[in-house]
Structure 1
Amino acid sequence: MKPLHSKTEKALAAFACICLSAVLSFSALAAEKTYRLTLAETWGPNFPIFGDATKNMAAMAEKMSNGRLKIRIDSSNKHKSPFGVFDMVKSGQYDMGHSASYYWKGKVPNTLFFTTMPFGMVASEQYGWFYHGDGMALMEEVYAPHNLLSFPGGNTGVQMGGWFQKEINSVDDLEGLKMRIPGFAGEVLAELGASPTNIAPGELYTALERRTIDALEWVGPGLDLRMGFHKIAPYYYTGWHEPATELQFLVNKRTWERLPEDLQEILRVAMRTAAYDMYIQNAHASAEAWEEMTAEYPDIQVKQFPDDVINALRSANTKLLANYADNDAQAKKILDSQQAYLNKIRRWTSISEEAYLQGQ
């Protein structure tokens, strides 16, 4: 390298050093910058299991980023709109949300397919579809026009069929039944004459106690015990409608794009880990709660819906799905993908987990 002789060369070299120093300083500052995000959740403050998922996610993201990513969580008592999370994150009022995709079916009908479907996949199968099948790509396709990204946010596994004030002995008993049940299952019950409705979690007990509704489904023992439904409704039915209820983390797309790549990946890992941990936590909590419920409230009657009711529900479900597919190309694409994946993976589930359980 030849020595610098002219004043111009020396000046240029000095300028280059200054520029390089500035770039390095800027990079260091960018790496140290703290990104503060806000998250609105559908649940109330300190809501068990569901609320734990958001807290766990935020804590992991902050720790893995060495404090560069901080997420403030606002529960429904703060933002006052448990079913407004979609709009608040879409508009940028909040950077993130935690809720359930099927709550938005009135706004964007095809969002309902990403929570769970009656007679559909169980949790292990559905996670396979999300992460190794078409699920994530299809979900991105549905949410992209709304400036949103959606990620799995925690699974409840198979949900119980609900708490009922009276027994269901035939299809006729569904006629006029007022029941809190969201998502596609509500449409299925409406097809058989019931009156489904959706009610915010904090209002469920009062609605059932005052007979504003005749029945409700929530989740399972792990969450139902704390809600106290067993004190006001004697019949606890097994599930058909939500075999793998996946909550969601919503992220404003502009917020996501402003994050450095390493923080995007940290957030992605934190959401995925928190979601799976919620699945395990809920299973554990339900086992413990069911033991407590049966010991302290032996009059709880666990029921299965009669075969004719299940057959009618299945027929109505099939009919409604066909209508969706006939009238919406995107819905057909999603439903075809889910059914193809279920057909493939259920063959394995049948000779593994199902066969094992039947053998016991």
Structure 2
Amino acid sequence: MKSLKITTLVAAAAVAVSTFSLPAFSAERVYKLKMAETWSSNFPIFGDAPRNMARIADEMSNGRLKITIDSANKHKAPLGVFDMVRSGQYDMGHSASYYWKGKVPNTLYFTTMPFGMITPEQYGWFYYGGGMDLMQKVYQPFGLLSFPGGNTGNQMGGWFQKEINSLDDLQGLKMRIPGFAGEVLAKLGAKPTNIASGELYTALERRTIDALEWVGPSLDLRMGFHKIAPYYYTGWHEPATELQFLVNERTWKKLPDDLREILRTSMKLASYDMYIQSYHESAENWATMKTEYPNVQVKTFPKDVLMAMKKANQELLDEKAAEDPLAKEILDSQAKYLKKVRVWTNISDRAYLDSVDSLAE
């Protein structure tokens, strides 16, 4: 089934690329690129995206574009992908933009933001609302190009061993939560930390941490968190988590025009495929959790807690914008686009779901 789906995507992409009337190349030179990924070998969904991309590029180019992928197990630097692609050690990378906030703070905004856009809205901003141009403005000084690399959809708010009933319950809470959301919780008195994925279950089981967020049912089921933390909170912090493809600019410029377009299209198709795969797997895995672990309780944070989170988030955004003109440009662009697009989301998707759900009551 998977191969059939990818074959269909490749066929559609081939038709799309043909509309560009790209020149025919008489010399059948093969371009071999190396990619480093943040993920370990056989990591589901996240690791599928770059492999699907490489397969699509190979098939669309009739074998002229070959991309080999080194997992973190091989290159030993899961959070070193930015530097390895920048230096030319690798031609490409697959990771997440917010991992680089320590070295380039403005990369943070191109993964997802608390209380921000959902996936369709964010893709609209990237491709039609100026997001791609702003992302390139951030990455170009480092000799890099960044492209959307696959979306998880709305992530869950995390697994908790104790119920969160008020802001007092956040005081001193040790939680694995990365990115901007960690800064938000720290502002409210929690103690955010980042722990390698292979250590998360043990840390939660031994009470080294009190709570953690990972992704959602699509990836959480295999981690087993539901066995030791019964409260599963709905999301607020990562409504549209977008991974990224990084490309070394020197490598990009060496490719002929047709292969650049094939690579661009392959990345876009693989990103979309990851989004629908994530959505499907979350539905499948939640059904399994609900059946096999009926004690798991889905919770939503109390309104006063969410309001405090949103207030802290806005204060931090204002600080970032005041410190850096480019950060302000990015954040203003996102806020302006969200204000416009959310009106349509509300009268289309939200209204439809509310109407249909009311019929079931």
When normalised by structure 1's length, the TM-score is: 0.91
8 Å contact kept, 1:33–1:68: yes
1:170 aligned onto 2:143: no
Shift of 1:210: 2.5
Read off the aligned partner of 2:155 and give its amino acid letter.
Q
1:52 paired residue number: 48
1:289 paired residue number: 285
How many Å separate the matches in 2 of 1:99 and 1:200? 15
Read off the aligned partner of 1:207 and give its amino acid letter.
A
Shift of 1:164: 1.0
1:135 to 131, 136, 141: 131
How many Å separate the matches in 2 of 1:204 and 1:250? 27
1:346 to 321, 332, 342: 342
1:210 paired residue number: 206
Matches within 5 A, 1:1-360: 28-29=26-27, 32-359=28-355, 360=357
8 Å contact kept, 1:44–1:202: no
Secondary structure, counterpart of 1:71 in structure 2: strand
Read off the aligned partner of 1:309 and give its amino acid letter.
V
How many Å separate the matches in 1 of 2:261 and 2:198? 34
How many Å separate the matches in 2 of 1:340 and 1:329? 16
How many Å separate the matches in 1 of 2:33 and 2:209? 38
Shift of 1:258: 1.0
How many Å separate the matches in 2 of 1:90 and 1:124? 30
1:7 paired residue number: none
2:18 paired residue number: none
Shift of 1:203: 2.6
Read off the aligned partner of 2:303 and give its amino acid letter.
D
How many Å separate the matches in 2 of 1:150 and 1:241? 22
Moved more, 91-100 or 209-218: 209-218
**Number of aligned residue pairs:** 332
Shift of 1:165: 1.5
How many Å separate the matches in 1 of 2:221 and 2:308? 30
Shift of 1:202: 2.6
Q: Which runs of 5+ in 2 are unaligned?
A: 1-24
8 Å contact kept, 1:82–1:200: no
Shift of 1:177: 1.2
1:15-51 per-residue CA deviation (whole Å, 9 max, x = no partner) reads xxxxxxxxxxxx633xx11111111111111111111
How many Å separate the matches in 2 of 1:93 and 1:204? 30
1:270-309 per-residue CA deviation (whole Å, 9 max, x = no partner) reads 0000000100000000000000000000011111101111
When normalised by structure 2's length, the TM-score is: 0.90
How many Å separate the matches in 1 of 2:138 and 2:189? 30
Secondary structure, counterpart of 2:47 in structure 1: helix
Read off the aligned partner of 2:26 and give its amino acid letter.
A
How many Å separate the matches in 2 of 1:210 and 1:73? 35
Shift of 1:201: 2.4
Shift of 1:91: 1.0
Shift of 1:178: 1.4
Read off the aligned partner of 1:206 and give its amino acid letter.
T
Identity %: 73
Shift of 1:84: 1.0
Secondary structure, counterpart of 1:277 in structure 2: helix
Shift of 1:147: 1.1
Read off the aligned partner of 2:330 and give its amino acid letter.
I
How many Å separate the matches in 2 of 1:127 and 1:72? 27
How many Å separate the matches in 1 of 2:199 and 2:261? 37
Q: Quote the RMSD (CA, aligned, Å).
A: 1.0
Read off the aligned partner of 1:49 and give its amino acid letter.
I
How many Å separate the matches in 2 of 1:69 and 1:312? 50
